[in-house]
């Protein structure tokens, strides 16, 4: 009898996507941004020239997805030409990770779709201006992002998949249900709740922003129980699976495997390695980040999720410890 793959199978079967960081600046100023050094990011991403973007695209034909990201990619005037090149090279999924504000100009959004864009991830962190803008620290950003979501929803008939990403904080945790209902009402296909990565500004402001994993999982499960949709199009991502046993497998998301090239500015983070491409680029992967900034303990090896678990952020453990992370016995979930 056919059945839906469980979360372990879904993660194990996931493919790597390519991230191309082109947004040298961001017109939001999110308090939890993982890229705390805005000036440094501007230097690095400004060096991601069209020639370098072409090399990355040409070198990764056949990848499941190429995603234009980092900073705010719509601030790059050559984004439409990059999207067109990706389509020309045969990428089947061409996506954009954005705050959505520029997409509110429908002709611009339509031009991207005409060139080949077919999936959009829009970051939105509340269902009302005060909540969203308190986190983005950018006046008028809520209405502009909502306008961008409305534009993308109008383009669904042209094949655009519309996903949103809401970073879960202590401020918006009590409002997950309201956020979900609001976004689905705008036509969003998938509402993703991302637990913060505990680096960058999320590390700087950890104590006032970061809820405990068990609190997040409990509120997310409560939200699902209150919804009448079957199944709800809500996913909880980047949280240790051992803390989410009360969440149905279909609603448990995961962080996609990815590879990303950045211009080599001479500093070189320890987790990056030379790509050998001769174009002044260094390669980093999701596994590099996990290895450098997450941890596991011996008990984790006994958990049914161990093979697909990335571990726990080291600075989260420094605040809250291991008590929440209870290994799930393998025999308890024989399929």
Interval 44-71: pLDDT, tens: 777 889 999 999 999 999 898 999 998 8
pLDDT per position as a tens digit, 72-88: 999 999 999 999 999 99
Average pLDDT over residues 330-335: 54
Taking only the tens place, the pLDDT of each residue in 225-284 is 999 888 999 999 999 999 999 999 999 999 888 998 888 765 444 334 445 465 788 888
Contact in structure between 164 and 153 (CB atoms under 8 Å): no
Per domain, the residue ranges of the chain are 7-294
289 vs 88, residue with greater confidence = 88
Q: What is the 3-state secondary structure (H, E, C) of 208-250?
A: HHCCCHHHHHHHHHHHHHHCCCCCCCEEEECCCHHHCCCCCHH
Question: What does the pLDDT read at residue 289?
Answer: 84
Hunting for tokens 């051992």 — which residue is that?
242
List the alpha helices (DSSP H) in the chain.
7-12, 38-46, 50-59, 79-88, 106-115, 129-136, 141-154, 176-185, 201-204, 206-209, 213-226, 286-293, 314-320
Query: Going by C-beta distance under 8 Å and a sequence separation of 6 or more, which residues neighbour residue 190?
Result: 161, 162, 163, 164, 233, 234, 235
Confidence of residue 185 (pLDDT cuts 50, 70, 90): very high
pLDDT at position 269 is: 45
Percent of the chain with pLDDT over 70: 91
Q: Residue 70 pairs with which residues in a beta bridge?
A: none
pLDDT tens, position by position, 144-171: 999 999 999 999 999 999 999 999 999 9
Pick the CATH number of 7-294 from 3.40.50.920, 3.20.20.70, 3.90.420.10, 3.90.950.20: 3.20.20.70
Residues 16-32: pLDDT tens digits?
A: 899 998 987 889 999 99
Smallest Cα–Cα separation from 124: which of 243, 42, 48, 28? Answer: 28
Report the share of the chain in percent with pLDDT over 90: 74
pLDDT at 331: 65
pTM score, whole prediction: 0.92
């Amino acid at each position: 009898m056919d059945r839906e793959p469980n979360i372990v199978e879904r993660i194990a079967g996931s493919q790597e996507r390519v991230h191309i960081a082109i947004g040298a600046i961001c017109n939001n100023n999110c308090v939890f941004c993982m890229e705390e050094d805005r000036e440094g990011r501007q230097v690095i991403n400004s060096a991601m020239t069209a020639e370098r973007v072409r090399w990355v695209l040409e070198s990764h034909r056949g990848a499941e997805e190429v995603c234009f990201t980092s900073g705010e990619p719509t601030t790059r005037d050559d984004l439409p030409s990059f999207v067109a090149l990706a389509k020309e090279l045969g990428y089947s999924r061409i996506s954009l990770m954005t705050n959505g504000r520029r997409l509110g100009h429908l002709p611009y959004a339509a031009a991207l779709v005409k060139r080949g864009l077919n999936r959009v991830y829009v970051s939105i962190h509340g269902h009302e201006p005060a909540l969203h803008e308190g986190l983005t620290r950018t006046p008028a950003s809520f209405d502009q992002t909502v306008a961008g979501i409305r534009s993308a929803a109008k383009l669904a008939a042209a094949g655009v998949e519309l996903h949103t990403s809401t970073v879960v904080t202590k401020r918006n945790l009590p409002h997950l249900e309201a956020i979900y209902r609001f976004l689905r009402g705008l036509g969003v296909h998938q509402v993703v709740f991302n637990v913060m990565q505990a680096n960058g500004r999320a590390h700087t402001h950890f104590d006032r922003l970061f809820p405990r994993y068990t609190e997040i999982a409990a509120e997310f499960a409560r939200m699902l129980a209150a919804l009448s949709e079957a199944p709800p199009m809500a996913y909880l991502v980047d949280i240790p699976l051992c803390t989410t046993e009360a969440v149905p497998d279909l609603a448990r998301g995961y962080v996609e495997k990815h590879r990303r090239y950045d211009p080599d500015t001479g500093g070189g983070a320890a987790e990056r390695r030379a790509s050998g491409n001769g174009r002044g680029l260094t390669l980093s992967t999701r596994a590099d980040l996990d290895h450098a900034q997450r941890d596991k303990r011996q008990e984790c090896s006994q958990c049914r999720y161990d093979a697909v678990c990335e571990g726990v952020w080291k600075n989260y453990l420094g605040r809250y410890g291991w008590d929440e992370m209870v290994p799930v016995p393998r025999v308890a979930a024989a399929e």
